[in-house]
Chains A and B, each alone.
Chain A
Amino acid sequence: MSDESRTATLPIQVFDRRALIRSGAVASGAALASVPMAGGRPGRWMQVRGKQATPGATPIAELPLTKAELATLRAVVDRIFPADDYGPSGTEAGVDVYINQSLATHNAGLLPLLQQGLPVLDAAAGGSFATATTDAQDTILTSAEAGELDGDPGGLFATLLELARQGMFADPIHGGNVDFAGWDLIGYPGVKLVWTEADQEIDAEVTPEHISVAQYREN
């Protein structure tokens, strides 16, 4: 059966896009142009700017962690991401800022676990995890990772690791990944809308563009 006869067996020809486009009823959808749609909300298009945006999370007035809890958290994220030849530390990248803010918002459900668990790390360090030696800190975290930490409320290390990863690698609008430290570490170029064939090759070197989603949002 030919294509024509097959199509003709259908009683309904639903639409002819070319005719619609000619009539102007459908926009061409060209890249980097506002696409008007019937019934759509007014466009709030922002042109892609050539320079790097300066993102940062909106400060939250009431942060949930106490000073002591925050000190312990900061020490933990600096053992998960220590300053070294591969880049800045967790706190230098704002990971602790991200975590504290997220515990007031989308990670609020994890706050009780941290409030219970961070003092357990202090107790394991004989009073203050933050002032213990880095070797002692690593020993405590290793036992927590292995599920052997006395008083662990359950899943403490896995939760801290996940939160640290979110802070380090989420878009800088959330308070971490300061100066794109996390994205540079993992080789992520940023919100890059066009990838060429060369960009997608195995072992391709993709230039860091440091583009945050902030560039595509209203001011």
Chain B
Amino acid sequence: MVQRLPATDVVIVGLGAAGGVASGVLTAAGLKVVGLEAGDYNTVNDYLAEYDELEGFYFKNTLGEAKVNHEVPTWRPNPSSPNQPLASPWRMANGVGGSSVHWTGQSWRYREDDFLIRTSTVERYGMQALPTGSTVVDWPITYQELEPYYEQVEHQIGVAGAGGTNPFESPRAADYPMPPLRQVGALEWAYEAMSAAGYHPFPSPAAITSVDYEGRPACSYCGYCTGFGCWNDSKSSSLVTTIRAAEATGNLEIRTRARVTQILTDDQGRATGVVYVDAEGSEIEQPASAVIVSTYVYENNRLLMLSTSDSHPDGIGNSTGQLGKHYSAHAYVGAYGVFPGRNFNVGSGTGAQSVAMDDFNGDNFDHSDLGFIRGAVVNFSMAESAPIALSRNVAPGRPQWGSAYKRYLKEDVGSVFSFFGQLEVLTYEDNFLDLDPDAVDQYGIPRIRVTFELKDNELAAGTFLSEKLEALARDAGATDTWSTGAMLIPVNSHAYGGTRMGTDPATSVTNRYGQVHDVPNLLVLGGSNFPSITGYNPTETIYAHSWYAAEHLANTIGAIGR
């Protein structure tokens, strides 16, 4: 028997980066919001107790234990292949604040050109530059439209950086409100190396406090950042910013350990609310005038696919067969170099404490004779190299065990440095998500199946970047260098697509405001909406677009709400 609760204005499924920002915007507008969160409401005490490389991150992924660890998607490279094992650890989190609690905090605006990827590519290189089978499109929103929201995010949620230091950055009306994170030691060295090679390095923007900011203390550079909650409230999660503000209005009711199983719709196909299972296993219906689904890429798609009804027989948002399509995820290129006797000392800090360059990103370089389009942002970061990870950091051909290995660990392990490229992977017709017919979660509900592989465009870009970054290392004086080419991570914390935003319902699921085309009182928020992935980390754009979309909902709920 499903217990039916009184209706609210907006029910938000998932209080992460996207839902957390939406909760702040909607409650400030006076709307009553119920936030349903699968995980717990954690505190700094909970985070500190997990500052353990082995348990907190590699094996238990403690922050994902409430739900997401039990529904890891399956993967096959292409439709004719059986499922393959996943090589990378699963790094999604549950809990109020979601993965904004444990992300690294690299906080980027996309560039003008990123929103116009198809137009700019065709104008410069012609239609033939678009790879066969790719589904490259422009966004239905421009940089200029999103720019004020980027500014709100940078100032109200808190981003540290130095505007104007990246010559490729798009115009900004205001600088960052905080200076960059500490530029010290190996970062100064990397800056010099990039400059000497003729590139244009700058301090990476970070959603972390570099100085005391709005009541939160400056980062203490503890080295437990990626994969961990911040002990010091320095990381600009939605939890310590917009969600706290939303709670202070009295308009947000958070229900934790609430596992949403279905989006409900009426005869006209409009959303009427959601059904969830609480910690005691009771099924509860929460009616609402409008529904926001903001549960990360895989669960956004799964919930829409599972929410079948007479009016949405193939799942919500799937009336044109677009649900689950245009999936993509970042690939990575690593280049390593050794300076014998030198200790770069990159074990502390945060991966967002970093020097970056955009010389090989987007269309910032001429691709005419390269055989690929787009590129990667390149970073040299304080790597938070915890000891187990550091112990694996051995040059190919060097001793991996015995006294020679111990001598290396004692004297030389700090002499390895790395440049990383985060590669823009295009969308393709045959990279997509669906429900796995053979794999279920612990409740017997189908898991998402990822069908995804890197294509010639991305492999060529990986080879190009490997060569460029190894050359950069050699020019800086490294004795040994090696690199990886494009590394595939099919199930990824930088995943995108499946509910693509667009103007035409025939080729997209949502509109520019995240509204499902044929269910206007249902918003989908997060990276699942992104038409393309860029070389940059997604969260600042998720924050900014969620702000933009929630504001539109607040202004129109009287007309579109049920």
Contact = CB atoms under 8 A, between A and B. Distances in A.
A binds B: yes
Interface of A: 1, 3, 6-7, 9-15, 17-18, 20-21, 23, 25-31, 34-35, 37-41, 43-46, 79-82, 84, 86-87, 106, 138, 141, 145, 161-162, 164-166, 168-171, 173-174, 182-183, 185-188, 191-195, 197, 199-204, 206, 213, 216-218
25 contacts: A6-B151, A6-B173, A7-B152, A9-B148, A14-B245, A15-B156, A28-B217, A39-B247, A44-B45, A44-B46, A86-B410, A87-B406, A106-B59, A162-B392, A171-B53, A174-B54, A174-B55, A182-B391, A186-B390, A195-B220, A195-B221, A200-B185, A213-B48, A216-B45, A216-B51
A190 to B, nearest CB: 10
A206 B347 CA distance: 11
A18 B59 CA distance: 40
Contacts of B387: 169-170, 182-183, 186, 188
Contact of A15 (B189, B245, B555): B245
Contacts of A10: 148, 152, 551
Contacts of B24: 14-15
B229 to A, nearest CB: 11
Given A35-B43, A138-B402, A200-B184, 5 more contacts: A80-B405, A170-B387, A191-B222, A199-B221, A217-B49
Contacts of B554: 11-12
B76 to A, nearest CB: 21
B189 A202 contact: yes
Nearest to B385: A188
B28 A12 contact: yes
A174 B24 CA distance: 41
A195 B345 CA distance: 12
B413 interface: yes
Max chain A CB contacts within 10 Å: which of B60, B224, B402, B405? Answer: B402
A203 B343 contact: yes
A1 B172 CA distance: 11
Max chain B CB contacts within 10 Å: which of A27, A80, A161, A216? Answer: A216
B226 to A, nearest CB: 15
Contacts of B48: 213, 216
Max chain B CB contacts within 10 Å: which of A27, A43, A170? Answer: A170
A162 B391 CA distance: 10
Contacts of A165: 388, 391-392
Given A14-B156, A39-B254, A166-B54, A187 B215 contact: no
A193 B222 contact: yes
Contact of B232 (A31, A84, A166, A170): A31
A6 B240 contact: no
B44 interface: yes
Contacts of B502: none
A192 B43 contact: no
Given A106-B59, A194-B222, A203-B345, A40 B43 contact: yes
B40 interface: yes
Contact of B185 (A23, A186, A193, A201): A201
Max chain B CB contacts within 10 Å: which of A195, A200, A216? Answer: A200
Main secondary structure of the interface of A (DSSP, over half): loop
Nearest to B414: A187
A202 B41 contact: no
A174 B52 CA distance: 10
Contact of B173 (A1, A87, A192): A1
Max chain A CB contacts within 10 Å: which of B96, B173, B401, B413? Answer: B401
A169 B391 contact: yes
A199 B182 CA distance: 12
Contacts of B8: none
Interface string B11-51: 00000000000001100110000000000111111101111
A193 B248 contact: no
Contacts of B410: 86-87, 185-187
Given A29-B215, A29-B216, A84-B406, A145 B348 contact: no
A46 B347 CA distance: 25
Given A201-B185, A203-B343, A193 B406 contact: no
A86 B401 contact: no
Contact of B49 (A187, A201, A216): A216
A84 B409 CA distance: 13
Interface string B544-562: 0001000100110000000
Contacts of A6: 148, 151, 173-174
Nearest to B214: A17
Contacts of B25: 12, 14
Contact of B220 (A28, A81, A170, A193): A193
A21 B393 CA distance: 45
Contact of B382 (A13, A171, A200): A200
Given A20-B248, A86-B410, A191-B224, A15 B242 contact: yes
A195 B222 contact: yes
A3 B240 contact: no
A203 B138 CA distance: 47
B344 interface: yes
A193 B231 contact: yes
A20 B50 CA distance: 29
A187 B123 CA distance: 53
A165 B59 CA distance: 15
B353 to A, nearest CB: 8
Interface string B230-245: 0111000000111011
A195 B43 contact: no
A218 B50 CA distance: 12
